[in-house]
Amino acid sequence: MDDVKRIYLSWSDVVKLIGNVMPRLEAYNFDLVIAITRGGIVPGAIIAERLRIKQVLVASVDFYEDEEHDLDWPVFMQFPADSFLRGQQVLIVDDIWDRGKQIVNVTERVRQASGQPYSVVLHYKSQRSEFPDKAPDFFAEETTDWIIYPWEVERGAVGTA
């Protein structure tokens, strides 16, 4: 990661990124937002507010490696019941699509519940994605940089515990 440029975003930067993607989102009538923990919670709340969506749900997914088969298996620690998703246009929000594992698995889970999933991220890293045939439906910016959002606490930063 030494050769990767670190970009520290301000709250103004985040507001600008969301503003850039809003015109495309406003063309749809989403029924609810699913914010992927942890990075999608803040942008999910802002986007839901701007789109006047009252139903904001949370998806928490983690991955455990199966060393015998060289696979990562998703474990959904928290996810909305299928009845909330069935027949709904669902906007799935995360801060960044890096490898894409979380958002791809959440999207598939919404689809399995008979919801119509759409995904949005602030930053899309197409070169790092493990899913070359998939991409977010909406993104504010494509990047190869290491992004640090204002809600993140960087390890070793001054004043952190």
Percent of the chain with pLDDT over 70: 89
Domain that holds residue 87: 6-64+71-148
Residue 27 lies in a domain: yes
Q: How much is the pLDDT for 136?
A: 98
Say if strands 56-66 and 71-78 run parallel, antiparallel, or are unpaired. Answer: antiparallel
Domain of residue 51, CATH code: 3.40.50.2020
Average of pLDDT values for 57-75?
A: 76
Read off the pLDDT of residues 72-114 as tens digits, 9 standing for 90 and up.
678 888 999 999 999 999 999 999 999 999 999 999 999 999 9
Who's near 11: CB < 8 A, 6+ residues apart? 150
Is 156 domain-assigned? no
- pLDDT at site 160: 40
Asked, for residue 103, whether it belongs to a domain, the answer is yes
**Average pLDDT value for residue range 13-18:** 98
Where residue 69 falls among pLDDT bands split at 50, 70, 90?
A: low
Rounded (5°) CA angle 29-30-34: 170
Number of compact structural domains in the chain: 1
Using alpha carbons only, how large is the chain's radius of gyration in Å? 16
Instruction: Count CB-CB contacts under 10 A for residue 128.
Output: 13
pLDDT value of residue 68: 62
Please report whether residue 110 resides in a domain: yes
